[in-house]
Structure 1
Amino acid sequence: MGVKIEVFRMMLYLSFPVTMFWISNQAEYFEEYIVKRKREIFPPGEELQRRELEAFKERMRARKEQRMLKSLSAESEN
């Protein structure tokens, strides 16, 4: 009887995470919960917010480029 209970426990331990992984990766679940929640938090119709975000990204990219140029020029001087 001991081997049968151990096999059952091992199947239970393995099947639970595999089942949860399979359920959580279903396309319907993803669309229903994740995408809808993201659209609630970040509404797609906010044109002003999108432009501000794009401007912020551009400023960060330019700042990063300036830092890289400074570090390269400092290295070339040495």
Structure 2
Amino acid sequence: MQVAQRSRMGVKSDMFQITLYLTFPVTMFWIANPAQWFEDLIQQKKELWPPEENQCQQLEDFKGKIRKQQEKLLAAAQQSY
């Protein structure tokens, strides 16, 4: 009879430990990492270093080159079959 009571108490303490192990890190993350703080930080960086128009155009040109290469590779692969 005493063995059965001891095992039930062990399950209760295990459940408490699991709950504590799961809630503590989640709660600390929720407290320490507010989303508004990250949004404000990103907004400040955008104000300090706005994207240059030249960079945007270079990026679009690079994307176009990659698309052309992909189309060539796809066409070559289809011809080989």
- TM class by shorter-chain length? 0.5 to 0.7
Task: Give unmatched runs, 5+ long, in structure 2.
Answer: 1-8
Cα deviations by residue, 1:12-69 (Å, 9 ceiling, x for unpaired): 111034322x454x53133134x348748xx433111111111111101111111001
Scaled by the length of structure 2, the TM-score of the pair is 0.60
Question: Between Structure 1 and Structure 2, how many residues are aligned?
Answer: 70
Structure number with greater CO (CA < 8 Å, separation at least 6) is: 1
- Identity value in percent: 38
In our comparison, the structure showing a higher alpha carbon Rg is 2
Gaps of 5+ in 1: none
What TM-score, normalized to structure 1? 0.62
Is 1:15 aligned to 2:15, yes or no?
no
Tell me the C-alpha RMSD between the 2 structures.
3.1
Inter-partner Cα distance in structure 2 for 1:6 and 1:29? 36
